[in-house]
Structure 1
Amino acid sequence: MPRFEVRQSAKLNLTSYSGLALIGQCCEAAQVEAVIDPRLPVSQGMKTSDLVKAMTGLLSLGKSDFEAIEPFRQDRFFKEALGLSKVPSSAWMRQRLDAKAGELRERTDELSVRLLERTKAPITPHKGFVRFEIDTFVMDNSDTKKEDVGHTYQGVDGYCPIAGYLGNEGWNMGLELRAGNWHSALETEYFYERAFPRVKRLVRADQPVLMVEDSGFDSARLLFAKAEERDAWARDGRVLEFVTKWNPRKQDRTAWVKRAEEANAFEVTRPGKRVGLLDLQVERAWQKQKRTFRLIVRVTERTIDKKGQHLLVPDIEIEGWWTSLTLPAVEVIEHYRYHGTHEQFHAEIKSDLDLERLPSGKFDTNDVILHLGAFAYNCLRLLGQLGLTGEIAPIRHPAKRRRLKTVLQEIMYRAAKFVAHARKLILDFGRGFAGHVQVFVALQQRLLRAASP
């Protein structure tokens, strides 16, 4: 077994996260300084935009703790890559975010929209519709005394944020923190008001948008909000449709079997199992208003299980979907089945960005960190879509998108020699990395074009 002599050079300046240079250019393309500094000026000290870029840089490396900034305070590459006048300390970062959280939160979502607009990020449809997936998920913050930590629907103490994802790529259109004991539908109409203008800006006017939600969003209030938003889009000559899973709550399943039998809707799919599809028009009321909505209900009755065992009592299952689509019922159900793919995006936010357990004890500060996490998520997703899925990408299996972990491994944590000489900043990747260098150069050129006025 060979033994290696270990040395520490005083001259070489190496970095193990060269991809941070691309994050700095993403910040430039998103015009962080133009968006943040005019609204949050400072009379002295560090600019607010420097704080935003430093936190975004940390999150794009999968680090969410304030203390993670300390090793970078003497790192010139970190400072130069993100275009910082100075790298903040952990205490300064925490204090400034605590003081400016409310104002900063209002501006951070604009960064993602500008980034995707100016880089002309691909937004691909699925079966003719650009999908807009909305859902809540649980962030486990057990054994903490953080503000508004509550008992979630998964039985753990934590937060229950809401998120919206656009297109097959899963661009994040909104990521907002919520107390753990909030219901999915609580105040969600206000999330619609903030998210839909961003969707309109990014999706071409001739592309129809399909909004998809699970049964947690089944309420008359939200159905009316979606219908009113759909009408507003129609007045602008645009198409917005929706599919929301029906929550049967206290429905009588036997009565639904009888109803399907009366409609002659049952079809036998195998011995002992029959399935019926009902296409209904149901009137809903909200605040003295009434609207008729389309409800598709699938009734499944099993008298023999899949192993051939006869059941003493029939097993009855009912599922339903509220929708504005005029497609056949089977196609509507297929559109909803694709909704499950967005669960990967939740996992990437919690694990790849290390945002499962938020760093602050204050709710507003954690909320703004989550908003900045959405911006970092979109930066990494953009690098993956532009650099790891096209012809110049290193050899990998074909995919519609690369998960953030792959972007971190292939781009962000690529080692290089950092050289500052003759007013030039150089990243030397060494031998054997020609494919990755090509990706890096192509991404840099794309982002520089977007950043130019």
Structure 2
Amino acid sequence: MPNIQFRASGRTLTSHAGLSIIGQCIEMAGIDSLDARFPSQGVPTSDIVKAYLGLLCLGMSDFDAIENFRRDTPFRQLLNLQKVPSTATLLQRLEKLAAQDLHTLTAAWSMTLLSLAEAPITADKGHVCLDIDTFVMDNSHSRKEGVTRTCQKVDGYTPIAAYLGNEGGWTSLDATPVAVIQRYQAHATHEQFPSEIKTDLDLERLPSDKFATNDLILHLAQLAYNILRLMGQLGMTGELSPVRHPAKRRRLRTVLQELVHRAALVIHKARQTILDFGQDVGRMTVLKTLRHRFRYPKTAPC
């Protein structure tokens, strides 16, 4: 048995260096513009939304989870927050924003991000598939507003989601029966996406008792999902990928494990924040490449 000792030091470490890319994507999406539309004398509205998006992108949805990051300097810096809100402030402000119909803005954030980042969206014979389906979220044994019986014989919610690109299924009346069957088989892949939302983003059981707040949280999850999917598409499917086996896409859980939850030493020098990954050159190279790509987008939002 090796002689192992423990010690602490004044150095700043982070276990979620991937927030450096997540914070950049949130900035590209235009979240900071919320402060002009929803002014506040306390924690800025943009900080409320960015802090919760940060939690979702770490695979956490409970409001209480924010308490672990209130004294986490890298969390605040990498997400460019003025202040990390408390649990009570986060909940109260999200409830207020839900009442102010913030969810109507969230789709534009994803469109802006995916456009600026030139997200890969593949087509099949000139057509891009849009796979639309419902999925059940089991919230049994709760008193949450709007919970009803679902088709899977559990109490919960049944939201509808759409997925763009060749990951979903697409059929055409002009295609042969064989082609239709082959294309519809891809619809099975769609069944994995709700699983990622419910497990990888920790959203099987929604955190609020109020329907409007849970609705807003699902809309925020759309952006978090797209950020992690984008990181997986651009950083983990080609030669740059630190994962050896090839794949057309990576599960969100793999993105979290390989790119988001990475340890780094945080160094402040010459007005710069440096993330030192030690000997983990592979993940450092991926994150550095993503950082450069998102810093210099090639296109303007549509």
Q: Do the structures match in fold with TM over 0.5?
A: yes
Map residues 98-177 of structure 1 onto 2, 5 A cutoff: 98-102=95-99, 103-126=101-124, 128-168=126-166
Partner residue in 2 for 1:45:
42
Partner residue in 2 for 1:355:
203
TM-score of the superposition, structure 2-length normalised? 0.94
SS at match of 2:273: strand
1:404, 1:372 → 2: CA distance?
Answer: 16
Q: Rg: which structure is higher?
A: 1
Partner residue in 2 for 1:25:
24
- Confirm or deny: 8 A CA contact 2:14 2:265 kept in the other structure: yes
Residues 108-157 of structure 1: per-residue CA shift (max 9 Å, x gap): 11111111001111101245431100000011111110001111111111
Residue 451 of structure 1 and its aligned partner are, at CA, apart by 9.7
- Among 90, 93, 97, the alignment partner of 1:93 is 90
Residue 328 of structure 1 and its aligned partner are, at CA, apart by 2.2
Change (3 A) 1:163 1:121: same
- Confirm or deny: 8 A CA contact 1:28 1:451 kept in the other structure: no
- Confirm or deny: 8 A CA contact 2:117 2:299 kept in the other structure: no
User: What code does the residue aligned with 1:56 have?
Assistant: L
Change (3 A) 1:68 1:395: closer
TM-score of the superposition, structure 1-length normalised? 0.63
User: What code does the residue aligned with 2:166 have?
Assistant: N
Is there any run of 5+ residues in structure 2 with no aligned partner, and where? none
Partner residue in 1 for 2:260:
412
User: What code does the residue aligned with 2:181 have?
Assistant: I
SS at match of 2:186: helix
Residue 161 of structure 1 and its aligned partner are, at CA, apart by 0.8
Residue 378 of structure 1 and its aligned partner are, at CA, apart by 0.4
Aligned-pair identity in percent equals 56
Partner residue in 2 for 1:61:
58
User: What code does the residue aligned with 2:21 have?
Assistant: L
Partner residue in 1 for 2:274:
426
Residue 325 of structure 1 and its aligned partner are, at CA, apart by 2.3
2:130, 2:298 → 1: CA distance?
Answer: 27
Partner residue in 2 for 1:446:
293
User: What code does the residue aligned with 1:367 have?
Assistant: D
- Among 68, 78, 81, the alignment partner of 1:84 is 81
From the two aligned structures, give the one with the greater helix fraction: 2
Residues 248-305 of structure 1: per-residue CA shift (max 9 Å, x gap): xxxxxxxxxxxxxxxxxxxxxxxxxxxxxxxxxxxxxxxxxxxxxxxxxxxxxxxxxx
Change (3 A) 1:437 1:370: same
User: What code does the residue aligned with 1:331 have?
Assistant: A
SS at match of 1:37: helix
- Confirm or deny: 8 A CA contact 2:238 2:246 kept in the other structure: no
User: What code does the residue aligned with 1:373 have?
Assistant: A
Residue 164 of structure 1 and its aligned partner are, at CA, apart by 0.3
1:414, 1:423 → 2: CA distance?
Answer: 23
Residue 421 of structure 1 and its aligned partner are, at CA, apart by 3.1
Q: Bigger shift: 390-399 or 79-88?
A: 390-399
Greater relative contact order structure (CA < 8 Å, 6+ sep): 2
Change (3 A) 1:62 1:451: farther
User: What code does the residue aligned with 1:132 have?
Assistant: L
- Confirm or deny: 8 A CA contact 1:416 1:427 kept in the other structure: yes
User: What code does the residue aligned with 1:153 have?
Assistant: C
Residue 169 of structure 1 and its aligned partner are, at CA, apart by 5.1
Matching of residue 386 in structure 1 with residue 234 in structure 2: yes
Partner residue in 1 for 2:6:
6
1:423, 1:93 → 2: CA distance?
Answer: 30
Residue 3 of structure 1 and its aligned partner are, at CA, apart by 3.8
User: What code does the residue aligned with 2:202 have?
Assistant: D
Partner residue in 2 for 1:283:
none
- Among 240, 244, 256, the alignment partner of 1:396 is 244
- Confirm or deny: 8 A CA contact 2:167 2:189 kept in the other structure: no
Change (3 A) 1:169 1:326: closer
Residue 39 of structure 1 and its aligned partner are, at CA, apart by 2.9
- Confirm or deny: 8 A CA contact 1:123 1:169 kept in the other structure: no
Partner residue in 2 for 1:372:
220
- Confirm or deny: 8 A CA contact 2:129 2:166 kept in the other structure: yes
